[in-house]
Amino acid sequence: MASLTTITPRNIMFKVEGPRGLWCGGDGPRTAFFDGMSLMFPEGERFFMDAVRDNAGAVTDPQLKAEIKSFTTQEAIHSREHLRYNRMVTERAGPAVTRLEEGVKNRIALVNRILGPKRRLAMTAALEHFTAILADALLKNPDLLEGADPEMTRLWLWHAVEENEHKAVAFDVYKQVAPGVLGYLLRVQTMLTVTMTFSFFLFVHVATILKADGQSNFRNWLRLLGLFWGRKGVITRTALPWLDYFRPNFHPWDHDNRQDLDLYRARLDQAA
């Protein structure tokens, strides 16, 4: 199944230089949540690009080949902008952030050493589904960024749009490389592993940033619990789309959110 929308790389440089304090409405938990994710992205997106390119030889469909090129261009720009963003976080939160980034780099280096191309692609497809459903939740619920610095809001909405534009590329390459029952079993086993590791290290990132910002207190931990597990929490909003990945005939474009994409990318393209 081909992508249902055009994958458009937007070479935007955001104004993220300099310290911003608690940029998400003065809210420590929300700021730490977004910053904690950002620390994963520069190295993570390089990993995604490499995993897709290492398996691209199995692709013969011209449209998917073109989508791979657009996917890698988008991810390269995301990596660049989140690297710049993370320097802003370092200015605010200090050397603890650098240690978190080193941890991400070391874990990815380990994965690259011990896993073959197909398993790295299975990881990429699972993580791309994670980022797509989180990005979709952000597009559908912009209150997550209520009161945020306008440039940071623009950056996160840009990233959310592009993650959903290319959400099926790694998955479609994986289907070429690992078809059938064995491919399905590897896909779901990898998603379970990725869910546990992604959730654990995101928690570590958020907790470390909260402490570095002087925001690690009982009240903020309760608010963080609500941010994840509340009635409109991030996990609450994404649980069913996450579970959908386990259907044997699942495809990322079963979640057709082109209407939301059209709304936000029209604004981005006008600004760009």
- Coil/strand/helix, residue 24: strand
Alpha carbon separation from 100 to 20, 97, 111, 127 (Å, rounded): 20, 5, 17, 19
pLDDT of residue 70: 96
pLDDT of residue 130: 93
pLDDT of residue 212: 95
Tell me the pLDDT of the chain (272 aa) as tens digits.
667 888 999 999 999 987 788 999 999 999 999 999 999 999 999 999 999 999 999 999 999 999 999 999 999 999 999 999 999 999 998 899 999 999 999 999 999 999 999 999 999 999 999 999 999 999 998 889 999 999 999 999 999 999 999 999 999 999 999 999 999 999 999 999 999 999 999 999 999 999 999 999 999 999 999 999 988 889 999 999 999 999 999 999 999 999 889 888 877 766 55
Handedness of CA 161, 8, 171, 155 (dihedral sign): negative
Alpha carbon separation from 113 to 110, 173, 233 (Å, rounded): 5, 21, 36
Q: Beta-carbon neighbour count of residue 268 at 10 Å?
A: 16
Helix boundaries (H) for the chain: 28-38, 41-55, 62-93, 95-114, 117-140, 150-165, 169-177, 180-212, 218-229, 234-244, 258-271
Distance CA 165, CA 255 (A): 12
Give me the residues paired with residue 148 across strands: 24
The angle, 0 to 180 degrees and rounded to 10, between the axes of the packed helices 62-93 and 95-114 is: 150
pLDDT of residue 271: 57
Give me the residues paired with residue 24 across strands: 148
pLDDT of residue 107: 97
Q: CA triplet 28, 22, 32: central angle to 5 degrees?
A: 45
pLDDT of residue 138: 93
pLDDT of residue 272: 55
Distance from chain centroid for Cα 138: 11
Alpha carbon separation from 260 to 27, 91, 157, 268 (Å, rounded): 26, 34, 11, 13
Torsion angles phi and psi, residue 116, rounded to 5: -80, 175
Entry pTM = 0.94
Q: Domains of the chain: which residue ranges?
A: 28-271
pLDDT of residue 19: 75
Q: CA triplet 9, 14, 20: central angle to 5 degrees?
A: 145
pLDDT of residue 269: 67
pLDDT of residue 246: 97
Is-contact 23 17, C-beta < 8 A?
Answer: no
